[in-house]
Amino acid sequence: MTHVLETGFEIMEIQNPNGSPAIKGYNIIAGKLSQSSDGKTFMSHNPAWLDDSLGEFPLSTKDDVHEALVAAREAFPSWASTPAPTRGQVIGNMGRLLMERKEDLVRLQAREIGKTMKECGGEIQEAIDTCLFFQSEGRRLYGQTVNSELPDKELFTYRRPLGVCGIINACNFPSAVPFWKMIPAIMCGNTCVWKSPQDSPLLSFALARIMHEAGLPNGVINLIHGKGSGAGQHLVDAADLGMVDKISFTGSTPVGKMIGETCGRNLVSASLELGGKNPLVVMPSANIENAVEGAYWAGFGTAGQRCTSLGNLIIHEDVYDDFMSRFMEKVMATPIGDSMRYEGVLYGSMLSEKYADDFLKGLEMCEADGAVKLWGSGRVTNENRPTGFQGEAGEGVYMWPHVYENVNEDMRCFHEEIFGPVVTVVKAKDFDDALRLANASPFGLSSACYTNDRLEAFRFKTGIKAGMTGINNSTTGAEAHLPFGGVKESGNGSRESGIWVIESYSYWHAVNDELSGKLQLAQMDVEEIEMEEADADYSGLA
């Protein structure tokens, strides 16, 4: 028999091996819990312990998505007219609730997607930081007073909300990224329909309930669950029906291009944060030990499942052997396992079986290209496990760390993102060659250069084509008040986070307030000022 907890979460009759409950999950539309219109569901499983089921969730239909969009549209006028400081106060309440529940949310996220507890703690903190930053931005949603070229006239500019925003994010950052998107969206006065990642529906359900508990009116954020090819596609297709005014997407470049095409033909705003093949350059003047630490974390933290993970490790030939000797020593000793049961692991499981299958195909590409494998042996099993692996390999979806060298620009693995724990290594002749190689992939998300030559640092940060650059720092890492996003195949120029994201969720409204009581036409009724001939003789000043 099921029962409802004080929090409103309904427990299912599933016996998990760790004793943890499985939750009956719902869509949240106009503040009400609902199942899919056809009753179909899917399960969320712990990728670090596949027998552990977290819950059952609606496999949302087109009707469900449209119902959520209608609810967001109906909630928009009231929310948009709510004073921005009041909207900011609700967002501040969210941040304080996240702080109170942080420990529980960290454990939930680690259990649902297999990331380490430490990384999940950092990510929940990022969501908190985003709320606290934008709480005060509600008091700074500034416009301008502009001087008119005509008398007795005032000109103003205002920021206005776009309307209904469709939010789609990947499961590798299931708490920080949706908050990057939805918090500035609702601060600007928009309403949202959020399609949760298929592999983290329970965390999304918990976060949405916290948002409502913070005082968010019904219909301002509506949560729908399902597959990207189902509910996600229905949300994008709604742009063709005039039901959505903005799509914000984080995910793969091919899907992002499809979303951009749909939005483009409907003149609907799109924010696209896509993939990367992020280069990290190591020069002879660098602190080699520091560079090794940065490359190691960039390549294998989160099991390489970040859009900002290290792709091409570009090493100057003069320090190549020294760097690789130290780097490989760390790689071969990498501690791997379920951080909920074992301390000190660098990374845990893959996000899901699908991510694991796609990663193995990426390794096949490296092999077919002729890259030389220095370390790695595919999926971890009890018969095929690195020395640093902890636990029972067959319980979850784990991968060895992989390193390939002798990679060059003629290989697909130089240019294509491989989402998982693998680093492709390239040798550079000099700084100019290293910078050219760093710019040679079609992506432009993150980048890094380790050097203690200030001229090289300057030339790198001015010459690299990327949205983000670290000098003597890893390719990874973001702060709530700094813009996040890429160029080229990594995005369409939109940015998450900081004050810059406000441009993505509002438009400028220019107001011309005529006080003279008559028609005055700009450029035509402006009194011309004639210049007079100068009487003074300045010839002697030359």
The whole-angstrom separation of Cα 282 and Cα 295 is 9
Candidates 192, 167, 249; CA nearest to 30 is 192
Residue with tokens 């490790």: 313
Alpha helices in 147-251 (DSSP H): 176-187, 201-213, 233-237
Backbone angles phi, psi at 179, to 5 degrees: -75, -35
Q: Residue 8 is encoded by which pair of tokens?
A: 């409103």
Q: Hey, which residues does 450 pair with through a beta bridge?
A: 282
- Reduce the DSSP state of residue 336 to 3 states and report it: strand
Is the distance from CB of 94 to CB of 214 less than 8 angstroms? yes
Q: How far is CA 192 from CA 29, 44, 68, 222, in A?
A: 11, 24, 9, 6
Is the Cβ–Cβ distance between 305 and 351 less than 8 Å?
yes
Contact between 234 and 205 (Cβ < 8 Å): no
Q: Which helix (H) or strand (E) holds 81?
A: helix 62-81
| CA separation, residue 56 to residues 10, 38, 53, 202, 208 (Å) | 10, 15, 8, 9, 16
Of 273, 256, 332, 302, the closest CA to residue 419 belongs to 302
Burial of 345 per CB tally in 10 Å (0-12, 13-18, 19+): buried
The conformation of residue 339, written as its DSSP 8-state character, comes to T
Q: How far apart are CA 489 and CA 236, in angstroms?
A: 20
Q: Could you confirm whether 307 is annotated as catalytic? A: yes
Closest among 484, 480, 498, 485 to 140, alpha carbons compared? 498
Which one of the listed residues 120, 171, 307, 449 is annotated catalytic? 307
Pairing of strands 422-428, 402-405: parallel
Which amino acids are annotated catalytic? 307
